[in-house]
């Protein structure tokens, strides 16, 4: 009896697993779930913990063992999606940014969106001009520490906060000036709302960048926003398509296609190449979900979409949530007392800190600054070929400016692109999952600035790799030029291979259909159906010859074999 109880308890433990979810304020929510629990169950637990009703804007993100990011699908089992052993670690993030944050019904929802956009600003995903950056940072300062108090806030107090990947002393002085003079008396709620309204006007609001390459091999970032699909290169937005213009999203292996209809029935197809097939599929699924959420009027209009051509199954996916208009209508029906909000205040964050854990770049001596810059770029180069959904590519500011000028000189669509920042768009921190382990206060400066985990051994490897690259640059310019030619020709070769493969698939499918139709016709003609069409076929000499010379002997052979097998079974 005791052994039976112990075995049942062990089986129940095997069916349970621990799950940790990092929230937007960097606190952690830990729970125990059944192994067959679906994503919706965990999401409901988190929303209940946060007292959140407007929950359709949020999602749960996780990273698989190959370091590929995913959104947790609520209709599927958690354990089957994670592809790893428990305990599971995930993050709560804003999945669909509200087009108008001021229209959100509850303050708790605005606060969580504020934390997400603040995180985007720190990690370099939200870009803006210097003047806008100073105002956004001043709003954050007002929301976190309140009104300026000379007794509590000494000279240079704004330098203790890290709002952006890079700071300058001039920008810090401007932030403090706005906080002292223009924001006096604003409550945290008002400052957060003003911050969101200002951020919502920026072109990179709601951007979750997916790094790809265009057909020429140039790096680009693809993103989906509340207003449409956008492509960023350097510090410019080179393409923007509204959700009404986008007609189809398709991918095959590492190739991603966007089909759109613009004004005057102008049809365009944009093609980009993702680092891995998994990253391309993640990009496609994000696009399908964003298009359904922002474009459709009702969730009943959502259809299952396929990534492939007509005759091939490919990947199939269906968005399972509500659409934006339904979320707004449901939010208008909320009638309850506003829930209490526990703001984090000045507690430093582990992945998006408000207070820096090391010296600013401007406070480092000139020689030290050059060494830090080299270590940062080496760290980025070491991550360039990794399997993240958003791999990092090291692009210097000067190169991006030269590229932008080249686009302007060439004319075309680049001439109409809009400058979105004074810096090149290189959201290095967004490529990495939010760390769960607590980082020490002695974090290396290179790691703190670009978000890349960088140990001493990795720095040595980066130095060795950099020396090898310098030697290759000195002794092998011809090899490098040949490699560049091959890289430029690789998209054409891939397109040719995909075309040949598609033709072969179409041929095999056609042969299979013809063979199936032939078998069906033979079965109908040999049956007892009395139809004029079949009677005419049976009277033809060709059918008579086929019937007596092939079909009847084959039927007798099968009947003989069946009788033999039946007698064998009966004898046994």
Check whether 456 has a pLDDT greater than 80.
no
Structure-model confidence comparison of residues 377 and 519, the more confident one: 519
The predicted pLDDT at position 234 comes to: 83
Check whether 342 has a pLDDT greater than 70.
yes
The predicted pLDDT at position 176 comes to: 94
Percent of the chain's residues with pLDDT above 90:
46
Region 472-492: mean pLDDT is: 46
The predicted pLDDT at position 492 comes to: 63
Region 363-375: mean pLDDT is: 34
Q: Which range has the worst mean pLDDT, 178-182, 202-206, 365-369?
A: 365-369
State the average pLDDT for the chain: 76
Q: Which range has the worst mean pLDDT, 133-137, 303-307, 443-447, 459-463?
A: 443-447
Q: Which range has the worst mean pLDDT, 158-162, 260-264, 437-441, 494-498?
A: 437-441
pTM as predicted? 0.66
Region 64-93: mean pLDDT is: 92
Q: Which range has the worst mean pLDDT, 169-183, 424-438, 551-565?
A: 424-438
The predicted pLDDT at position 349 comes to: 38
Report whether 23 contacts 93 (CB < 8 A): no
What does the alpha-carbon distance between residue 178 and residue 137 come to, in Å, rounded to a whole number? Answer: 9
The predicted pLDDT at position 491 comes to: 54
Q: Which range has the worst mean pLDDT, 238-242, 438-442, 525-529?
A: 438-442
The predicted pLDDT at position 345 comes to: 59
Q: Which range has the worst mean pLDDT, 200-214, 228-242, 364-378, 554-568?
A: 364-378
The predicted pLDDT at position 259 comes to: 94
Of the ranges 7-11, 195-199, 487-491, 503-507, the best mean pLDDT one: 195-199
Eight-state DSSP code of residue 547: I
- Tell how strand 58-63 and strand 28-34 pair up: unpaired
Structure-model confidence comparison of residues 43 and 3, the more confident one: 43
The predicted pLDDT at position 312 comes to: 54
The predicted pLDDT at position 14 comes to: 66
Tell me: the pLDDT tens digits for 231-263?
A: 999 878 999 999 999 999 999 889 999 999 988
Check whether 387 has a pLDDT greater than 90.
no
Check whether 192 has a pLDDT greater than 70.
yes
Region 67-84: mean pLDDT is: 92
The predicted pLDDT at position 396 comes to: 34
Eight-state DSSP code of residue 163: -
The predicted pLDDT at position 140 comes to: 96
Structure-model confidence comparison of residues 147 and 355, the more confident one: 147
Structure-model confidence comparison of residues 205 and 544, the more confident one: 205
The predicted pLDDT at position 95 comes to: 96
Per-residue CA distances from 143 to 64, 106, 192, 193 (Å) = 35, 17, 6, 10
Give the residue from 463, 275, 473, 467 showing the smallest Cα distance to 379.
463
The predicted pLDDT at position 493 comes to: 72
Reported as a pLDDT band with limits 50, 70 and 90, residue 310 is low
Region 270-288: mean pLDDT is: 95
Check whether 218 has a pLDDT greater than 80.
yes
Reported as a pLDDT band with limits 50, 70 and 90, residue 212 is very high
Region 332-354: mean pLDDT is: 68
The predicted pLDDT at position 295 comes to: 93
Which tokens belong to 352? Answer: 């998006």
Q: DSSP assignment of 392-451, as one string?
A: -----HHHHHHHHHHHHHH-GGGGG-EE--SS----GGGGSPPP-SPPPTT--HHHHHH-
Report whether 447 contacts 353 (CB < 8 A): no
Work out the number of other CB atoms within 10 angstroms of the CB of residue 267: 9
Check whether 311 has a pLDDT greater than 90.
no
Reported as a pLDDT band with limits 50, 70 and 90, residue 210 is very high
Query: Which residues have C-beta within 8 Å of that of residue 130, sequence separation ≥ 6?
Result: 171, 174, 422
The predicted pLDDT at position 207 comes to: 93
Report whether 21 contacts 46 (CB < 8 A): yes
Check whether 179 has a pLDDT greater than 70.
yes
The predicted pLDDT at position 58 comes to: 97
Check whether 392 has a pLDDT greater than 90.
no
Region 365-382: mean pLDDT is: 34
Region 158-181: mean pLDDT is: 91
In the chain the domains, ranked by start, together with CATH numbers, are 16-94 (3.10.20.90), 101-126+128-200 (1.20.80.10), 210-321 (2.30.29.30)
Region 343-359: mean pLDDT is: 43
The predicted pLDDT at position 502 comes to: 80
Tell me: the pLDDT tens digits for 97-140?
A: 999 999 999 999 999 999 999 999 999 999 888 989 999 999 99
246-252 β-sheet, strand order: 246-252, 255-262, 266-273, 210-213, 219-225, 228-233, 236-242, 418-419
């Amino acid at each position: 009896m005791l052994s039976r109880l112990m075995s049942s308890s062990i089986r129940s433990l095997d069916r349970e697993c621990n799950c940790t979810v990092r929230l937007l304020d960097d606190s952690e929510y830990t729970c125990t779930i059944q192994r067959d629990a679906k994503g919706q169950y965990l999401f409901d637990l988190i929303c209940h913990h946060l007292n959140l009703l407007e929950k359709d804007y949020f999602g749960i993100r996780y990273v698989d063992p190959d370091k590929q990011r995913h959104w947790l699908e609520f209709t599927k089992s958690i354990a089957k999606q994670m592809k790893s052993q428990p305990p599971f670690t995930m993050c709560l993030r804003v999945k669909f940014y509200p087009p108008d944050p001021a229209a959100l019904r509850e303050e708790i929802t605005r606060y969580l969106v504020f934390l997400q956009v603040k995180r985007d600003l720190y990690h370099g995903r939200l870009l803006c001009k210097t003047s806008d950056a100073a105002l956004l940072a001043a709003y954050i300062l007002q929301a976190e520490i309140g009104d300026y108090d000379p007794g509590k806030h000494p000279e240079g107090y704004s330098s203790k906060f890290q709002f952006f990947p890079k700071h300058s002393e001039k920008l810090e002085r401007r932030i403090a000036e706005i906080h002292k003079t223009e924001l006096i008396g604003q409550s945290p709620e008002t400052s957060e709302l003003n911050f969101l309204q200002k951020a919502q006007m920026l072109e990179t609001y709601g951007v979750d960048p997916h790094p790809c390459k265009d057909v020429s091999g140039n790096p680009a970032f693809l993103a989906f926003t509340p207003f449409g699909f956008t492509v960023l290169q350097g510090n410019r937005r080179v393409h923007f398509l509204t959700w009404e213009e986008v007609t189809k999203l398709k991918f095959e292996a590492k190739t991603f296609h966007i089909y759109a209809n613009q004004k005057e029935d102008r049809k365009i197809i944009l093609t980009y190449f993702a680092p891995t097939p998994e990253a391309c599929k993640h990009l496609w699924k994000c696009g399908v979900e964003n298009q359904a959420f922002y474009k459709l009027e009702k969730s009943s209009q959502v259809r299952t979409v396929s990534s492939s051509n007509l005759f091939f199954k490919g990947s199939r996916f269906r968005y399972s949530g509500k659409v934006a208009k339904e979320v707004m209508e449901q939010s208008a029906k909320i009638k309850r007392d506003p829930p209490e909000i526990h703001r984090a205040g000045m507690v430093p964050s582990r992945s998006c800190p408000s207070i820096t854990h090391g010296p600013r770049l401007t406070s480092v001596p000139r020689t030290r600054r050059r060494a830090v810059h080299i270590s940062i770029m080496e760290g980025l180069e070491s991550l360039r070929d990794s399997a993240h959904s958003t791999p990092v590519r090291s692009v210097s500011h000067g190169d991006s400016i030269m590229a932008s000028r080249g686009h302007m000189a060439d004319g075309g669509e680049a001439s109409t692109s809009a400058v979105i920042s004074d810096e090149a768009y290189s959201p290095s921190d967004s490529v990495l999952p939010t760390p769960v382990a607590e980082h020490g206060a002695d974090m290396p400066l290179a790691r703190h600035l670009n978000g890349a985990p960088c140990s001493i051994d990795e720095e040595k490897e980066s130095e060795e790799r950099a020396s090898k690259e310098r030697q290759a640059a000195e002794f092998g310019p011809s090899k490098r030029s040949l490699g560049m030619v091959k890289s430029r020709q690789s998209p054409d070769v891939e397109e040719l291979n995909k075309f040949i493969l598609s033709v072969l698939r179409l041929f095999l499918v056609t042969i299979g259909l013809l063979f199936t139709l032939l078998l069906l016709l033979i079965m109908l003609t040999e049956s007892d159906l009395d139809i004029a069409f079949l009677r005419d076929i049976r009277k033809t000499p060709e059918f008579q010859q086929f019937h007596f010379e092939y079909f009847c002997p084959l039927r007798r052979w099968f009947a003989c074999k069946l009788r033999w097998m039946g007698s064998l079974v009966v004898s046994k």
